[in-house]
Structure 1
Amino acid sequence: MATGTRYAGKVVVVTGGGRGIGAGIVRAFVQNGAQVVICDKDDPGVQAPSLSLPAESRGRALEQALAGTLFILCDVTREEDVRTLISETVRCFGRLDCVVNNAGYHPPPQWPEETSAQGFRQLLELNLLGTYTVTKLALPHLRKSQGNVINISSLVGAIGQVQAVPYVATKGAVTAMTKALALDESQYGVRVNCISPGNIWTPLWEELTASTPDPTATVQEGTLAQPLGRMGQPADVGAAAVFLASEANFCTGIELLVSGGAELGYGRKAIPDTPVELPTIPS
């Protein structure tokens, strides 16, 4: 049931909307009066228990739980799937006001020599080209409504991350593409912004934690990375998305960090086993 009217009467598509950050974004828009199309697909190889249900089962459950939503099974790397997603949205609701490009994947930690060109290409197809395809096909409708695009990037696209070269590269590209699209679409009154989350407690974080030798220490490390002393929740990203869509009318081409301040200040940055050279302390 909607609890606000900040985006009442608007229609939103959220890719990767069946779980984690995507589900938080869906709920936030519904709570603010929007009708939301949930797009999702199965993720081969993802082992988190809360992701064990097929994408359609997760999406249908969310559709039943939230009035004003519609689930459409869609692989954003398949252009025909995306064409169907956009056309069905407009057919069912008559308009399109906002697209949230959240579909993406973060592979397990890998050193550069452990990565492959094929794996990199597949990640580019999902994290970057999927965002491009959804946006391109949605633009004719967004121009009519003078709507907006919100791309979900990542804090690490700006600050880097150990053992994540392909992922960081794709997210840095999403942020850069956001700025270029904002310039092109300004003539039509379409705003394009991105949100870069930091540590958000999601099923993928649960999976990472469970795979480490000391899950408690892993959670503590992730928590203490934020000056605010906590990890974010999917609802925090959802609130930021609703703000950008409904109220940030003079914002386009921006990167909104939803990170709890993780990028601030100094910290221990050297990787273990890195040769360390200490300055000589005068006696």
Structure 2
Amino acid sequence: MSLRFQDKVAIVTGGCSGIGKGCAEVLVEQGGIVVVLDKAADETSPSLTGPGKVKYMKCDVTNEEQVKNCVEQTVKDFGKIDCLVNNAGVHTGLVTIDTISVEDFKTLFDINVVSMFIMSKYALPHLRKTKGSIVNLSSFSAVAGQASCPTYCATKGAITSFAKGLAADEAKNGVRVNTICPGPTNTPLLQGIPGGDNPDNKYEMVSNNKIRSSRRLFQWRFHF
């Protein structure tokens, strides 16, 4: 039986937990070589099983120099990059425009959006060589909106628009750029949001029978 991602090299940001970890698991199971970039990456990073390989690199994806070094190291170690999964991001929780500072919004934008720009900028020269793929993790909030989360919605909307524009530019280079907009997914990030696991509050939509599994949510969504 052939493996879907045999010998393909993928970078997954924020891959030590949640959706990023789920993506890395599937890629490794299908024979992929996965480089996980995460601020939490160290010797205690979760081990993944399968015929593929995984390497962890400690990286703050808002730090241009760290990103550049990690991309260069990936190519040095494995010779190429076939896919970039821009997954790293944070959620502010329930905050209105009156309760979040300008500086906190700038920080949120840096983490959720500017990091994807930095990653894409340094990975693209290598993705063009392999006719590879960029997969951005956005959110249903990018298109549907979400009460008490205007700044979070703004960052996710920016991710979607960025991908559309970048896809138009990179079509001539054979690089595909796509965005996935999942609904609430059972991850440590969601569980850490105040009230996020309580079906009786504003997060009623994510009660246990409606929360998706990060392990399987994207199993058949990758194409490269």
Fold in common (TM above 0.5): yes
User: Which of residues 171, 174, 181 in structure 1 aligns to 2:166?
Assistant: 181
State the match for 1:169 in structure 2. 154
Q: Structure 1: any 5+ residue segments left out of the alignment?
A: 42-54, 247-283
State the match for 1:44 in structure 2. none
User: Which of residues 3, 6, 26 in structure 2 aligns to 1:5?
Assistant: 3
In 1: Cα distance, 2:201 partner to 2:98 partner = 25
Q: Confirm or deny that 1:234 pairs with 2:214.
A: yes
Cα displacement (A) at 1:236: 3.0
Q: Give runs of aligned pairs for residues 75-94 of structure 1, distance below 5 A.
A: 75-94=60-79
Hey, which bits of structure 1, 4+ residues long, moved more than 4 A? 63-67
- The one-letter amino acid paired with 2:110 is E
Q: Give runs of aligned pairs for residues 32-71 of structure 1, distance below 5 A.
A: 32-41=30-39, 55-57=40-42, 60-63=44-47, 68-71=53-56
In 2: Cα distance, 1:28 partner to 1:180 partner = 28
Which is greater in Rg? Answer: 1
Cα displacement (A) at 1:142: 0.2
- The one-letter amino acid paired with 1:245 is H
Percent sequence identity over aligned pairs = 36
- Relative to structure 1, the CA distance from residue 143 to residue 196 in structure 2 (aligned partners, 3 Å threshold; closer, same or farther) is same
Q: Give runs of aligned pairs for residues 203-282 of structure 1, distance below 5 A.
A: 203-208=188-193, 211-212=194-195, 215=198, 217=200, 221-223=204-206, 229-240=209-220, 243-246=221-224
Cα RMSD of the aligned pairs, angstroms, is 2.3
Report the secondary structure of 2:170's partner residue: helix
State the match for 2:23 in structure 1. 25
* TM-superposition CA deviations, 1:56-79 (whole Å, max 9, x none): 34x743246565100000111110
In 1: Cα distance, 2:196 partner to 2:90 partner = 23
- Relative to structure 1, the CA distance from residue 12 to residue 91 in structure 2 (aligned partners, 3 Å threshold; closer, same or farther) is same
Cα displacement (A) at 1:237: 3.0
- Relative to structure 1, the CA distance from residue 31 to residue 173 in structure 2 (aligned partners, 3 Å threshold; closer, same or farther) is same
Report the secondary structure of 2:45's partner residue: helix
Q: Confirm or deny that 1:141 pairs with 2:126.
A: yes
Cα displacement (A) at 1:32: 1.1
CA contact (8 A) 2:191 2:197 kept: no
Cα displacement (A) at 1:165: 1.2
CA contact (8 A) 1:4 1:31 kept: no
- Relative to structure 1, the CA distance from residue 4 to residue 165 in structure 2 (aligned partners, 3 Å threshold; closer, same or farther) is farther
Report the secondary structure of 1:237's partner residue: coil
CA contact (8 A) 1:29 1:238 kept: no
Q: Structure 2: any 5+ residue segments left out of the alignment?
A: none
* TM-superposition CA deviations, 1:189-243 (whole Å, max 9, x none): 00000111101011122223xx439935359823469xxx521111233314xx3
Q: Confirm or deny that 1:111 pairs with 2:91.
A: no
- Relative to structure 1, the CA distance from residue 162 to residue 143 in structure 2 (aligned partners, 3 Å threshold; closer, same or farther) is same
* TM-superposition CA deviations, 1:112-142 (whole Å, max 9, x none): 1111111111111111110001001000000
Aligned length: 223
In 2: Cα distance, 1:97 partner to 1:28 partner = 15
- Tell me the TM-score normalised to structure 2 length: 0.91
Structure number with the higher helix fraction is 1
- The one-letter amino acid paired with 1:98 is C
